Structure 1
Amino acid sequence: MKGAKIPLRSPSSLWGHIRDFLDNTMISVEAGLYIGSVSDLKNPEALTLKGITHILSVDSEQPELPGFHVKFVHALDDSSTDLLSKLDNCIQFISDASNASSSFSSSSATTSASSVLVHCHAGQSRSAAVITAYLMKTHKLSVQEAYSKLQLIKPDVNMNEEFLDQLTLYEAMNCELDPSSVLYKQFRLKKVTEKYPELKNIPRDIFAVDPAQSHNTEAIYRCRMCRRTLFRHSSILSHCVGSGASAFSHKRQSGGRPAADQSQCTSYFIEPVQWMEEALLGVMDGQLLCPKCSSKLGSFNWYGEQCSCGRWVTPAFQMHKNRVDEIKHINLAALK
C-alpha cells in the first residue's frame, strides 16, 4: 500500500532477537566456557553480551575479530590433522581466559570474569575435541567420561574417530604432551608420513640428536664393526609382540616347510637419528648403513615393515640386534 510504513524493531526486541539467536547456536559448557560454530562470529555484539572476551578458533581459516583476544589453531576435520600436539596450548589459552579480567562492558554482564568461546566450522568435531581435552585435564576425567559429559550438554557433537584416538593417547600421557613418550614419537612419525608423502621438507626435529655428538649417561648402542655410537636407549620405539610365525603364513608356499617360531624380536625399531637424514629424505625405503664404516645395520621403510615377532611397525627404522652392541654406563662411585 502506498505510503504504508514498515514497522521498525525496537532496541529491546532487537537485543532479544540476538539473545535467541545466540542461545540456539552457542552453548555453555560450564561457567566461562562456550562451544559454538563459525556462524556465532557473525554477531560480535551478541558475543559481548554473553561476556565473551576470548575466542579459540580451531578451523581452516583465520577469522578477523577486532576487539577480542583470538587464538587461531589451523586444523582440518580429517584424519591427517595432528590436533594432539596443540592441545596443551589450547587448554592453556582457555585457562588464561577464564582467569583474566574482562575489559569489555556488557549490559547483561554481572561480573568482570572473562568467558571464552571455542569454535570450529560446525561446532561438532574439532571444537568438541579441544573442549573434551580441557575437561579431561581440568576435571581429571577419562576421555570417555569427558566426551559423554559434553554429549549430554550438546547432543549434536560428533567427533571424528582420529581425534578420539588422539585424545586416548593424550589420556595415556596423563593429559600432558610428552615429547619423550614412545607413543607420541610413533604418532608423530605416522603423521609426518601422511603429511609429507614425497618425504621432502620433513621437520628436522623428528630426528633424534646424534649421540656421537653429545654426552649422556644413558645406555647407547654402537656399531659392532667400528664402534661408532648410533643411538640411545630412549630412541627405541617398543611395540606389542606379534603373533609369531602365524603372521608370516602368507609367505609360505603350499606344502613347504613351516617357518620357525620367532617369539623374540631380532631388531630394534627406533626413531630416526640425525646421521640417517641424508639417506631418509625423499626415499621411501632402503638400507641403513653405518655412517662411519658403511656396514649394513638394518633397513627402513616409511610405510612400515614386519618385525620378526610378526608385528607390523609403521614407519619402520630397524637396526638388527646382531649388528650393534649395547653399552651401559657404570656409576663407579655407587659401587664404592
Structure 2
Amino acid sequence: GGMVPVLPGLYVGGAESCSSPEALSAAGVVAVLTVDAEEPPAVPGVRAMHVRARDEPGADLLSRLDECAAFLGAARAGGVNPGFQGQLKLYEAMGCAVDTSSVLYKRYRLEMLSERFSEPQDLPREVFAVDPTTICQTSNTEVLYRCRKCRRALFRSSSILSHMEGIGPTAFAHKRITDSARLSGNSQEKCTSYFIEPVQWMEPALLGVMEGQLLCPKCTSKLGSFSWRGDQCSCGRWVTPAFQLHKSRVDEVRTLPAGNFQTAKT
C-alpha cells in the first residue's frame, strides 16, 4: 500500500512505496529501511538498508534491531506481525539495545532454537555458556554452582534463567495431590530446580536428541534433565526449552570479596 506518516518525516508503507521513485521523492524520503525476504531494487538518490526476513512470527528481527534503531518508530506504527511485536517489546525491555548477556535475550535465543530444530544437530557456539572450569577466576559478584558429589564446577549464577513463579500444586491437575501435600508444599521452596542456559559441557548430550538426562561430566551422577519441547517446574510454570539441574544435586559456592577463600552452601 501507500506510505502512511507516523511521525514528522517518518513513514511506514508496503513494498510498492519503496520501489516508487516518484512517491519517495514527493514525500521527501531520503532513506528506506526494508524488511523483506527479497531485497528491492535500488532507487537513485535514496539510501537503503535491507533486513532479510520473512513476514512471519518466527523470523529473527531482534538481532538486527541495533542497526535499525532509527526506524523503530515506523515499526511500532502497525502492520507488524506478532513475532516482530514481541521482539520490539523485548528490545525495549533491554533498554533499546541488544544485550546478549541479558536473561531476556538468552531465553529468546533458546526459544527461537527450540522452534527451529526438530532434532538439533549443530547448535551455534554462542548458545553455550563458557564452562566454568576453563576460567581461573570467578567475579566476586557471581555465585558458582558445583556437583555436590564430586565438586566439579558446573555453572555460574549468570547462567540461571529465572522465570515467573507458577501457581504451585494446582498447576498439576493431571496428578493426584493430597491436601496434606498441598499444605506442606506451601512452607517449602516452590522451585526445586535451577533452569539455566546450556553450558559447554552439556553439548555432547544435547546433539541429535530432543530430551534426555544431564549427567555430571566428571562423576556422571545424574544432575537433572533437558527438553527442547519444554518441561514444568515444580512451581507449576512451564519452561521452554528446559535445561534443569536439581538443587539437591548441586552446591552453591560464594567467593568472598575479602580474601580468596570460599564458602559452600549445602
2:69 corresponds to which letter in structure 1? I
Q: Which moved more, 1:66-75 or 1:46-55?
A: 46-55
1:250 to 168, 174, 180: 174
Shift of 1:328: 0.6
Q: Which moved more, 1:185-194 or 1:172-181?
A: 172-181
Structure 1 contact 245–259 (Cα < 8 Å) conserved: no
- Compare the two structures and name the one with the higher helix fraction: 1
Could you report, residue by residue, the CA deviation over 1:94-126 in whole angstroms, capped at 9, with x for unpaired residues?
5xxxxxxxxxxxxxxxxxxxxxxxxxxxxxxxx
1:17-96 mapped onto 2 (5 Å cutoff): 25-65=2-42, 67=44, 68-92=46-70, 94=71
- Compare the two structures and name the one with the higher strand fraction: 2
Shift of 1:69: 2.6
Q: TM-score, normalised by structure 2?
A: 0.85
1:291 to 217, 229, 232: 217
- Distance (whole Å) between structure 1 residues aligned to residue 147 and residue 173 of structure 2: 33
- Distance (whole Å) between structure 2 residues aligned to residue 332 and residue 166 of structure 1: 42
Structure 2 contact 168–235 (Cα < 8 Å) conserved: yes
In structure 2, relative to structure 1, the CA distance for the partners of 1:59 and 1:308 (3 Å cut) is same
1:332 to 241, 258, 263: 258
1:225-244 mapped onto 2 (5 Å cutoff): 225-244=149-168
1:219 to 132, 136, 143: 143
The higher radius of gyration belongs to 1
1:110-259 mapped onto 2 (5 Å cutoff): 130-131=72-73, 147=76, 150=77, 157-214=78-135, 215-217=137-139, 218-252=142-176, 257=178
Q: TM-score, normalised by structure 1?
A: 0.68
Structure 1: 5+ residue runs without aligned partners? Answer: 1-23, 95-129, 134-146, 151-156
How large is the RMSD of aligned CA atoms in angstroms?
2.3
SS in 1 for 2:18: helix
Shift of 1:90: 0.6
2:201 match: 275
Count, aligned residues? 251
SS in 2 for 1:88: coil
Q: Which moved more, 1:76-85 or 1:278-287?
A: 76-85
- Distance (whole Å) between structure 2 residues aligned to residue 209 and residue 224 of structure 1: 20
Question: What percentage of aligned pairs have identical amino acids?
Answer: 53
Shift of 1:63: 1.8
- Distance (whole Å) between structure 2 residues aligned to residue 132 and residue 212 of structure 1: 46
In structure 2, relative to structure 1, the CA distance for the partners of 1:243 and 1:161 (3 Å cut) is same
2:223 corresponds to which letter in structure 1? L
- Distance (whole Å) between structure 2 residues aligned to residue 200 and residue 230 of structure 1: 23
- Distance (whole Å) between structure 1 residues aligned to residue 242 and residue 158 of structure 2: 16
1:179 corresponds to which letter in structure 2? T
Shift of 1:45: 4.5
